[in-house]
A and B are shown apart, each in its own frame.
Chain A
Amino acid sequence: MSNDREVDHDTIPPANKGLLAAAGVLLAIPIIALMWVSSYAKVEPKLGGWPFFIWYQFLWVFLCSAMTYTAYRLVLKARPHRPMHREADRDGDEVAR
């Protein structure tokens, strides 16, 4: 029922591009770090008997979680929600809901 839609909703809601880019970088870092297998496929330095290969990847569980959470805060700030309305209030029950 596209003719009922408010035209302006067929656009991408405005956003702070810089913050979005920063979030994108934060999300990309763990992916790149873990895809770069030769950087961590080694035994030394060990940590409490654990080979580097093992503890380094465990470390990324926490780093990635922190980066994802930061990215979450950033995207919330970057693009505030643009509410959509029942078009033209034709059924008139908008207020009742």
Chain B
Amino acid sequence: MNTAALAAIPTATPAATPAATGTGVNGVALTVLIVLFLVVTGLGFWATRWRRADSMESLDEWGLGGRRFGTWVTWFLLGGDLYTAYTFVAVPAAMFATGAVAGFFAVPYTIVLYPIIFIFMSRLWSVSHRHGYVTPADFVKGRYNSKLLTLAVSVTGILATMPYIALQLVGIQAVLEVAGVGGSQNIIAKDAPLFIAFALLAAYTYSSGLRAPAVIAFVKDTLIYLVIIVAIIYLPGKIAGGWDAIFGAAEAKMAKPSLADPSKPTGAFIPGAAQHWAYATLALGSALALFMYPHSITATLSSQNRNTIRRNASILPAYSFVLGLLALLGWVAIAAGTKPIGLDGKPNAQLVIPQLFEDMFPSWFAGVAFAAVAIGALVPAAIMSIAAANTFTRNIYRDLIKPNASHAEEAKVSKLVSLLVKAFALIFVLTLDKQNAINFQLLGGIWILQTFPSIVFSLYTRWFHRRALFVGWLVGMIYGTYAAYNVASPATKHFGGSLANMPVIGKLGYIAMSAFVINILVAVIITVILNALKVSNGRDDTIKGDYFADAGDPRVEKHRDMDDQLTAGPVT
């Protein structure tokens, strides 16, 4: 899930007072965590044999699992991909720290998401099937043959994905910290667990490609459902007064004056009239943006036919339900008096869910819960690194450096780049302040939405001019970055959140949406001018029927050889 907007949560919760709770190594929980982690590692390496292909030497096999995942595999894969470990840590943390606007918007976001993708994703699947597209930038290139626009879409995709991978590491760190591993004593002992976990992930992603996260997603999603359903049934019973007390405690906390700025309340129990626009634009903007990320598109294109994604649009909300329950656990933590204190002795709202589990569950089940979050980080990290690597290979390496790269060469480059991407994310998290990763992730959400017109509008029409789309993108990027730069919060002077006053409307709203509207307006105006001047809009490789093709329909002739390479062939 795009958690960009959650960056607004201050990492320090002033309300909590440092206390010596929850420190020290939790042996039983840690053992359970390690055992489950090893099981998953084994599965990751085994995945290369799962639905074995004759050759993994192409992006279709390594990067898209042979394009033949059925409804249920896709459900697990997309669920594992979109609802990331960072989401599971950050959404309840936001509920705990500042309440409904920053946290609960995740629920309407992940509801309206599915009707939206229902509308256009099967078109993208069809045209990608016909033309062998692996990334959204591939499609934009085929539609306009514009190097500039293709580059804009691919670079935005890579830039938005990188900090997202880094945040998955932050998710693992949160769990390890509460389990008592990774104290600040010495550099090597502190970071070694994270380093080992990521090295193993990199190794099996390298060998198994998209099959690795697809197999691990089964374990991840099962654990997540198990833990959250148990938590939501078991924990309120342990709190005197049950749900009434939980909502009461949340309401009381949110109404208290904020410690950072006593003139304002701590947060929102229910969004006030001034916050309705913020709540709605956060939900809608995040929903529009999510499937512009390369990793969401990778998981969609790996499905076996045009309608897999549509069927999934009606069953994926199961995850939204669980996410909503998880969000409420942030309020359960308020009632339970959870004190999220890091190993450095400072309060850190991000630790609230792991801390709640450690305080309230028996050790062994806390271990299962920790494993769910840690493994929850591996699936999206793997898919994101594959997607970023595919984008680099297809839209930078092949388009700009080596136009005649063979399928095998593409797979080789992509595998290497997937390692680089993960190494970069690791260095990013280990050397820079965590706040940097959060800032960039916030920007990433704003940026990625600016590729929406080039990708989605182009699935329907070539009325928009390629240069107009490019300028619209550029203006949206600049406006969004500038607006985000100017947001201050108690924790940070710049990039302090994703809400700013919207032009014209004058209410607080999601910056990405304002930038998106400006982007479209610019694109429309320039299109009208360029079309009036009859400026060429580039060559279109696609025909209308391509947008309705299904499995079994042949690829266009240029890409026929891949039809013959794919082991199982299309499923009819």
Q: Are B276 and A41 in contact (CB under 8 A)?
A: yes
The CA of A51 and the CA of B250, in the complex, are separated in Å by 12
Give every chain B residue within 8 A of A38 (Cβ-Cβ).
273, 276
Given A34-B108, A50-B243, CB of A81 within 8 Å of CB of B118: no
Does A84 sit at the interface, judged by CB under 8 A?
yes
Q: Which of B115, B244, B549 gathers the greatest number of chain A CB atoms within 10 Å? A: B115
Give every chain B residue within 8 A of A86 (Cβ-Cβ).
554
The CA of A64 and the CA of B108, in the complex, are separated in Å by 10
Q: Which residue of A lies closest to B272 (CB)?
A: A41
Give every chain B residue within 8 A of A67 (Cβ-Cβ).
115
The CA of A30 and the CA of B112, in the complex, are separated in Å by 7
Q: Are B114 and A81 in contact (CB under 8 A)?
A: no
Q: Are B111 and A72 in contact (CB under 8 A)?
A: no
Closest CB of chain A to B120's CB: distance in Å?
11
Task: Mark interface residues in B104-121 (1 if CB within 8 Å of A CB, else 0).
Answer: 100110011011101100
Give every chain B residue within 8 A of A31 (Cβ-Cβ).
112, 115-116, 284
Q: Are A42 and B270 in contact (CB under 8 A)?
A: yes
Q: Are A61 and B557 in contact (CB under 8 A)?
A: no
Give every chain B residue within 8 A of A95 (Cβ-Cβ).
none
Task: Mark interface residues in A1-36 (1 if CB within 8 Å of B CB, else 0).
Answer: 110110011111100000000000001101100111
Give every chain B residue within 8 A of A68 (Cβ-Cβ).
114-115, 118, 313-314, 317
Count of chain B residues near A, Cβ 8 A? 56
With beta carbons under 8 angstroms apart, the residue of A13, A51, A61, A83 that contacts B111 is: A61
With beta carbons under 8 angstroms apart, the residue of B112, B310, B548 that contacts A13 is: B548
With beta carbons under 8 angstroms apart, the residue of B315, B552, B560 that contacts A83 is: B552
> Could you list 12 further interchain pairs (A-B, Cβ under 8 angstroms) beyond the known A9-B543, A54-B104, A75-B310?
A8-B545, A11-B544, A30-B115, A34-B108, A36-B280, A51-B269, A60-B108, A61-B107, A66-B314, A68-B114, A68-B313, A69-B314
- Listed by A's residue number, 23 A-B pairs whose Cβ atoms lie within 8 Å are A1-B557, A2-B543, A13-B545, A13-B548, A27-B115, A31-B115, A31-B116, A34-B283, A35-B112, A35-B280, A37-B280, A53-B100, A54-B104, A54-B247, A60-B108, A61-B324, A64-B112, A65-B317, A68-B118, A72-B311, A72-B313, A75-B310, A85-B554
- Complex A-B, nearest 5 residue pairs according to Cβ-Cβ distance, in ascending order: A9-B545, A69-B314, A49-B243, A27-B115, A37-B276
Could you list which residues of chain A lie within 8 angstroms of chain B, going by C-beta atoms? 1-2, 4-5, 8-13, 27-28, 30-31, 34-38, 41-43, 48-51, 53-54, 57-58, 60-62, 64-69, 71-72, 75-76, 79, 81-87, 91, 97
Could you list which residues of chain B lie within 8 angstroms of chain A, going by C-beta atoms? 100, 104, 107-108, 111-112, 114-116, 118-119, 130, 242-244, 246-247, 269-273, 276-277, 279-280, 283-284, 307, 310-311, 313-315, 317-318, 320-321, 324, 328, 543-550, 552-554, 556-558, 560, 569
